Amino acid sequence: MTEHSFKRTVIRNSAIGVGVGLILVLVARVTHFPVVFQMMFFIYAMLGAFVFILLDAPSMKRLEGSRAVIGLVVFYLVISAVYIGGAAGLPQYDPEVEKGKIEKVLKARRARTQQGKAEELIARARVLNERATGIEQQLKALGGGVQVAAGAEAPTSAPAAMSASGDLLALGKEQWELQECYNCHKLFGQGGKKRGPELDNIGNLMTPADLRQKILDPKSWMAEGFEKQYKKGKMPDKYKDLMFDEEIDALVTFLSSLKDTSVNTPKPVKMH
């Protein structure tokens, strides 16, 4: 092959390499590959072009003896330098950055569970406190004596139970927010971008036991008219792992209180 035609080969193969490289980058970008991958694809295309250029290159003079050994070593060093230098020039994966991201996710979760626990404890303390005050007043009113035990029971337990269920409702509503049920379910006219059923009337359609079962095992019930979403398993099967038992109780209490008949909550169908 003449000097002149080899030059043409170099130009033609380089141009093809750049063309193929650009197409790869375009496809990689459309399919949302990270930038570093886009660069790698371009480099691969250019390496491919380089191989084809080498195939057409005029043959070298034959090396003999020690010159051959030196040639081999030099070739090895040059290729190594190109590889290492090239790789070092690409954007590097930094474990610290990844750690930082994970830390952010964990921080939010830790804060959440701590906050949730603290609020639950405060709520419990409040209920106990009210109950104690009630009993105390009752004792005072009755002035002690044998009837105290029987008399104290009835009047105090009613308000205590009421405030306990009120707290449970608030905790349940909080679980609705924390577990992000609103992402899929519209409630009080809010949320539900991912199109699950509106739940404003679910308290009339499912018993607390049914609701509990649905949360723990979403496949156990299917909302009528949501066959496709049910089959695809749209409702996540993760709450049994994410939620404490008391949190599920609170959420169920909250859901049971939803009895707005003006909203068309679909009929739940028992699946298993």
Instruction: Name the site residues for ligand HEC (rule: CB under 6 A).
Output: 179-181, 183-185, 194, 196-197, 199, 202, 211, 214-215, 218, 221-223, 226, 229-230, 234-236, 239, 251, 255, 265-266, 268
CA distance linking residue 179 with residue 243, whole number of Å: 9
CA distance linking residue 62 with residue 192, whole number of Å: 75
What contacts 196, CB < 8 A, 6 or more positions away?
184, 185, 186, 223, 226, 229, 234, 235
CA distance linking residue 57 with residue 140, whole number of Å: 107
Residue 86 or 225 with smaller CB distance to ligand HEC: 225
CA distance linking residue 76 with residue 212, whole number of Å: 67
Q: How far is the CB of 184 from ligand HEC (least distance, A)?
A: 3
Q: How far is CA 47 from the centre of its chain?
A: 39
Residue 179 or 253 with smaller CB distance to ligand HEC: 179
CA distances from 149 to 140, 153, 154 (A): 12, 6, 10
CA distance linking residue 152 with residue 140, whole number of Å: 10
CA distance linking residue 218 with residue 241, whole number of Å: 13
Q: Which of 255, 259, 254, 249 is nearest to 170 (CA)?
A: 254
Q: How far is the CB of 118 from ligand HEC (least distance, A)?
A: 21
Residue 38 or 229 with smaller CB distance to ligand HEC: 229
Q: How far is the CB of 53 from ligand HEC (least distance, A)?
A: 53
Q: How far is the CB of 258 from ligand HEC (least distance, A)?
A: 9
Residue 160 or 206 with smaller CB distance to ligand HEC: 206
Q: How far is the CB of 203 from ligand HEC (least distance, A)?
A: 10
Residue 62 or 232 with smaller CB distance to ligand HEC: 232
CA distance linking residue 77 with residue 16, whole number of Å: 28
Q: How far is the CB of 211 from ligand HEC (least distance, A)?
A: 6
